[in-house]
Structure 1
């Protein structure tokens, strides 16, 4: 896990909340989140943009066409667009890419568009000729501001208007000679549009998928037969493909299938289906662990005790309690009832032995975690997969009153301001619950927390849930739609939560959408107070810092700012508009975003890692340097950035010289001597201990040597 913080313009400007940004798979209580192991990738790559060759090869390696493939390919070739519908796990993603390869050829570019894109946007988009486009898991929904329910947009509703909008999209693709495949889990209610074919997608035959991969890897026939015979029933195609790949790499077939199917569903079914009904205490044990794995015994027992008190009215009705009391008080001729009542009272006075009960619970065990020279005993499920199945069983078998008690319990934990580890555990538990009860998670937790009903901790937890959702391909689109709904709301706290969400993992997964909605929230009149407006500026800086930190394309942020500044410069008559000034201020915040541990500006690392983008960086520096009210802060930020180059690259002088030449081209000629003089004086007034080459002198030297080559 990486620790991220809001950068601001100055590290000393007040108290800023520190959040836990995570960009890759997470492990909490031995429960795995994410789509890849840490060894495979440092974090989840963004879900939109150009598909590279490695991604395409991974998707189409030993690809087996399902029976519906040829029908879809003919439709895509004929009309330029086809929609694949069906549940998750049927291979729609790889099918979409395979269809494009079949139609536009293997050498064409394939571009993944946002799942939140609307039909109007597609109909007005400029497509590149010969390029294949994909929209994966398109939501096709829009939420009403201030509510949690999602409804189909007018463009997606069945009927004549839907057919008209789909026809516009189809005609736009034909006009630009491009092709588009859309996948969605939502079928078309009512009468399907005639303009665009919505084709139910079926997975390929599973044993063919396994055989193709293993034969290609030259696995012995005996092993191939064992692998095919061991395919679990109703196994998703993605799981089958992954297991086949592991077997091709040398894993034993029985072990590979065991790790994917496992015994967790059966163990949970046997535990909940025992002849003797589970007690309140046992239900509280598994519920507590489902939302708080990996904590110590004392903390676990405290959480369990609170939950038991809230669950008491659910499991002990007033009628039953009254009957029990009446039966205990009924006297007999010998007065034995009074004595039995005293013994019962003494028994009730004994401490509740939760540890003995936990030791008898087959689903729960302890784990020793090493912390430096010490160890710590924590409570975990006996199998990591048990957590998901326990939540599934609890949701399936327990009434609304039980889930109301769980909601009150989690709200009490949030109000107590839990430590970051417990916050992440609660968020990951809600993410798992969202797989089977998404409406419950949104309506009972995410929306109220995002509105600020549980303070900053609730907002943080709501965002953490969205970030966890982004680590799983099946939920990322839903997280984007929910955050977009908050960004469109008129509720200022909801919009602030959306800023927070888009500046972290959600922005990593959908950077283009993040830039769009961060700007939309920032420029609206809702953020009138300075501190609220400051949150918007800081969110831009945090997104840039996050993208640089996880080695994703932070240039998306800079390109968006450069585009808006360029548009402003082309249209303004004498002075920047209010929108133009906001862009300049946002740019300065981005350039002053610093890494929390090192204190180095993120833009220094970006300049060192992306030499091809020196011109864009220089254009942005030139814009804020030429705006006099921001010049002083811009000079200070430029000085810090240039001095930070030796710490982030082995050749800092080359990076400084490259930026100096780019600044010479971007700045008006009259600004060259001013920048040389002012930056030089500032460097002298703020001396530092020499730890490398003088990059400031190198930058100014390159600026001066190039000024005559680039007259303005």
Structure 2
């Protein structure tokens, strides 16, 4: 990873002599960038909602949970245990875990390491089934320092290798093993490589495909026949999906057809044929821009061909009589990998082909293709066209699955995060981060990259980090995101509007994607309650809390706090703490009242459950507020409701609920039931 002091690539802004950039006044660009990341997040949510995981690549399986740290649900554990095959590698790992309370499963992505780890932990923690996933941001030092609980299982997935001296590693590992064993806990780590000593590793190999098929009650003769169709390109998730299809009665030819859709036969056949430079650059453009309108794609392709010098040798000799091929028809001819949607968007016939095309382009062709493509991608990332930036970001994420994350990070992500001019490349980098979070192999690396941007002394990487934390990265690692954004807001000498927006967007994204932002609400409530600053010094934190309380998905619709209370009624207590912290600050009181009014009025007063939620919120708020503030809340809220032309029935309902919870001493001020 490039550091802040390294020489930047051409066209990249960073240098010790560079003047600091103030982003606080670039409101339009900031809002536009967050909107673009939010649009990509909507697409990712749609993917999860329809197929339960990402489909832009074939590496790795995809868990049902979007969160990549915290308690693992019983549902996910039960799913992992269904028809699981306990083969030789698993039994070796179980023996190692039994003897040392700690084991690392080291193998390729997509081989079922996570599923095996969940089974191991569930086998050892017994009926209590307390299994917690740790963030891959954990270092050896943090693993040594953390507290382990009795009969708990801890999972650390896709842990990247630390660049630590071997003797230090040995010391830390011995201490981790001692602390885990003394606590009566268990720790399972998965990764493609690890800093752990060989004695703590199990080389992980997946079970045989025929054994997986038979475990799902597929007939032995069918299982043996199907197993011959499965190659190393197929992840264990593909094999399990095929087994479930066959077990549920899907015909063999149809099930194998679905399996082939993840394969690469058609793509390899296309590349094995004689191809012109024009065809190869058109395929490269599709690898990064599939999903755009036909006109938009052709415009981008023309620019790529110009950069590559295609057609320049004939530029001076063009005649009206020269033949002009029908490129649109040829593009969709028989044997093509492309299709045209009813809305005239160019797409791959099979979504999985995008990854295979990228792999063939990268493995077969060198700088004569990739130098022009790289220059073209840098131009596309800076275009003021959100649809182009979104597709380019997705394509770059696919490239990382075949070329490696470090290449993509150094060639595209960090240069875009640091880029000059209007903040468009930053948005493209953040969108790529969201896509990269869908792949289990790149997720830990992405977390480290964005964390380093957050800690950068330069403004633009910091801004890119706030964008990234508000998207899929924040959904995967909510506590890390909340901490990073909060520290940026708390420790900055100037207002950090984009970090405040990111915190609100994170709350909205978590609520929309998972229905549960309770951990960060609890954490924020503790932070604001324990902060001892007074006066203007606490204003940045109050503004950040207010941004959370006023958040709405995409800036429209019902308040996010209302949606969250419907899915998580227990969030009334931390929300009341946050509201109380803002209400007692007079400069922000009116905004806090407006947020409270909007949230309460978004509930349906005719619905009993909604009435209970409002009752719980107001009860918690009255309990949390200092006693002298309680009657003032009733007075001010009623005044504000009247100013909003609230109808008498809703006003009386609102005031009657407050009347229930206010103390007799407060009621004696006679501020309720009368117009001020």
For the residues of structure 2 that align with 1:505 and 1:392, how far apart are their CA atoms?
A: 25
Q: 1:111 is paired with a residue of what secondary structure?
A: strand
Name the structure 2 match of 1:504.
471
For the residues of structure 1 that align with 2:255 and 2:635, how far apart are their CA atoms?
A: 67
Change (3 A) 1:550 1:45: same
Name the structure 2 match of 1:332.
none
Name the structure 2 match of 1:562.
525
User: 1:23 Cα deviation (Å)?
Assistant: 5.3
Gaps of 5+ in 2: 1-26, 57-61, 668-676
Q: Does 1:399 align with 2:366?
A: yes
Name the structure 1 match of 2:95.
74
For the residues of structure 1 that align with 2:241 and 2:421, how far apart are their CA atoms?
A: 41
Q: Deviations over 1:328-383 (max 9, x none)?
A: xxxxxxxxxxxxxx9x76488555643354245733443232xxxxxx33322333
Change (3 A) 1:678 1:297: closer
Trace 1:680-691 onto structure 2 (pairs within 5 A).
680-688=638-646
Q: After TM superposition, what 4+ stretches of structure 1 lie above 6 angstroms from structure 2?
A: 12-15, 706-709
Change (3 A) 1:404 1:690: farther
- Count of residues paired in the alignment: 629
Name the structure 2 match of 1:483.
450
Q: Deviations over 1:100-139 (max 9, x none)?
A: 1222224321111111211111111122211101001112
- Of 336, 349, 372, the match for 1:363: 336
Q: Does 1:384 align with 2:347?
A: no
- State whether residues 365 and 379 of structure 1, in contact with CA within 8 Å, keep that contact through their aligned partners in structure 2: yes
Name the structure 1 match of 2:397.
431
Q: Does 1:131 align with 2:89?
A: no
Name the structure 1 match of 2:191.
184
Name the structure 2 match of 1:334.
none
- Of 29, 37, 41, the match for 1:22: 41
- State whether residues 114 and 510 of structure 1, in contact with CA within 8 Å, keep that contact through their aligned partners in structure 2: yes
- State whether residues 430 and 468 of structure 2, in contact with CA within 8 Å, keep that contact through their aligned partners in structure 1: yes
For the residues of structure 2 that align with 1:649 and 1:21, how far apart are their CA atoms?
A: 34
Name the structure 2 match of 1:301.
298
Gaps of 5+ in 1: 1-11, 141-151, 326-341, 370-375
Q: Deviations over 1:476-513 (max 9, x none)?
A: 22322221221122221101111111112111111122
- State whether residues 523 and 579 of structure 1, in contact with CA within 8 Å, keep that contact through their aligned partners in structure 2: no
User: 1:67 Cα deviation (Å)?
Assistant: 1.0
- State whether residues 450 and 459 of structure 1, in contact with CA within 8 Å, keep that contact through their aligned partners in structure 2: yes
Change (3 A) 1:355 1:708: closer
User: 1:385 Cα deviation (Å)?
Assistant: 2.5
Q: 2:346 is paired with a residue of what secondary structure?
A: strand
- Larger Rg: 1 or 2? 1
User: 1:44 Cα deviation (Å)?
Assistant: 5.5
Q: Does 1:164 align with 2:171?
A: yes
- State whether residues 55 and 351 of structure 2, in contact with CA within 8 Å, keep that contact through their aligned partners in structure 1: no
User: 1:55 Cα deviation (Å)?
Assistant: 0.5
Change (3 A) 1:406 1:27: farther
Name the structure 2 match of 1:337.
none
Q: Does 1:173 align with 2:180?
A: yes
TM-score by length of 1: 0.81
Q: 2:344 is paired with a residue of what secondary structure?
A: strand
Change (3 A) 1:679 1:34: same
For the residues of structure 2 that align with 1:579 and 1:125, how far apart are their CA atoms?
A: 32
For the residues of structure 1 that align with 2:237 and 2:227, how far apart are their CA atoms?
A: 15
Q: Which moved more, 1:438-447 or 1:124-133?
A: 438-447
Cα-Cα RMSD: 3.3
User: 1:552 Cα deviation (Å)?
Assistant: 3.2
- State whether residues 397 and 435 of structure 2, in contact with CA within 8 Å, keep that contact through their aligned partners in structure 1: yes
Q: Does 1:253 align with 2:252?
A: yes
User: 1:455 Cα deviation (Å)?
Assistant: 3.4
Name the structure 1 match of 2:19.
none
- State whether residues 64 and 76 of structure 2, in contact with CA within 8 Å, keep that contact through their aligned partners in structure 1: no
User: 1:163 Cα deviation (Å)?
Assistant: 0.7
Trace 1:655-670 onto structure 2 (pairs within 5 A).
655-670=613-628
User: 1:593 Cα deviation (Å)?
Assistant: 1.3
For the residues of structure 2 that align with 1:281 and 1:499, how far apart are their CA atoms?
A: 39
For the residues of structure 2 that align with 1:404 and 1:649, how far apart are their CA atoms?
A: 61
Q: Does 1:93 align with 2:51?
A: no
